[in-house]
Amino acid sequence: MLNRIDRYLLTLFWTSFFAGLLIFVTLFLASDAMQSILKFQGVPSSVFLKYYLYFAPEIIYKMLPVACVVGMVMTIASLNRGSELIALFASGMSLFRISRTVFVSILLICGVSYYLSDQLMPIFSKNKSFTYYNEIEKNPSRFQTIKTNRIWYRSKNSIYNIKTLNADGDKAQGLTLYFFNENWDLIQMLTAATVSMHGSQWILQNGTITVFSEDSSFPMNDRFLEKTIVMTEEAQDLRSTGQTSDLLTQKELSRFIEKNKEAGLDTIKYEVDFHSKFSFAFAGLVMSLLALPFCVSRNRGGGMMLNIGISLGLVLVYWIFYSSAQTIGQHGQLTPIIAAWMPNIIMLALGTTFLLRLKK
């Protein structure tokens, strides 16, 4: 059961957290909306409203760590302002004991952050992108298809390349299928101009079949207008190949990486994104721990605004460090897991060091 002090601290934290989150999200959305309205004049307000309803979860997700820091800073600042922090120290409570309940709340927020990025954001991001390219920018081709010659997929003893894939993952153009035997010798190649995918059943149109035989020096070719084949994999598996990491769940991204690795393709960028989905969820905890000792050490000479300024400065340093590590990792200079977790580990160690030096 929570005692009266814990309930009081939770009230201070959650009030400051939601206030900070509301302010930051509102400022971001208002600023972005003004730019969009001026850039795309003539677009109905209802379209912009729909677009920003889909955009809001992404902004909330990005602002959760900052709101955690604001909640922590404002909680300590409130205790400092009324000399309540000194009274708590005098009663024998350590800084760890005082902030324990707040950090448990931040851990809960970390869990919500991960769930938001893994399960909800892919859905909202797809709808946001569809609304933007189809109804605001009026350039649907930028969302309906992906870059050419970039989709490779491996299924057991077959590899296929797709030139373009629509957003729903049920229609494709420029399909090339390579079939191999157990020794990975090419035995058959199948091409098609267009493909309609209905689960494991694919309808191919305007294509060719090329058969390679050890008994003949020349492959045998045959053309067809329409052909139906049954694939061992569901078309659902292919949908992830035409999407960026933010449009995929953790499970889909993991499967995408595995399939592309089997095909011998470079997956470093996606591996960094995969580990970053975990590491960014704990950004609020790391930032708050880093900001806490500076709030306490400024309890006499600083003031609330100075505490907030220092803490937001530390947040900026963390963001720069985190973004730099991501970029370096995506270029292969760091292993994906190190690129994703190194900022958290270093900043967590730094914050712990500062706390231990306080001796409170």
Residue 162: beta bridge partners? 151, 175
Give the model's pLDDT for residue 2.
67
Residue 147 has pLDDT above 50, yes or no: no
Residue 118 has pLDDT above 80, yes or no: yes
Structural element, H or E, at residue 206: strand 201-211
154 vs 60, residue with greater confidence: 60
Q: What is the pTM of this model?
A: 0.72
Task: Please state the length of the chain.
Answer: 360
pLDDT tens for residues 154-166? 666 778 788 777 6
* CA distances from residue 335 to 51, 189, 325, 327, 344 in whole angstroms, order as listed: 36, 36, 10, 11, 15
The domain spans of the chain are 4-138+273-358, 147-242
- Residues 233 and 201: their CA atoms lie apart, in Å, by 9
| CA 342 distance to own-chain centroid | 17
pLDDT tens for residues 61-90? 999 999 999 898 888 888 887 788 888 888
Six-digit token string for 22: 């509301």
Q: For residues 223-245, give the mean pLDDT.
A: 67
156 vs 55, residue with greater confidence: 55
| Cβ-contact 180, 158 below 8 angstroms | yes
Q: Is 183 exposed, middle or buried (0-12, 13-18, 19+ CB in 10 A)?
A: exposed
- Residues 156 and 177: their CA atoms lie apart, in Å, by 12
**Buried/exposed 44-67: b ≥16 CB within 10 Å, e otherwise:** eeeebebbbebbebbbbbbbbbbb
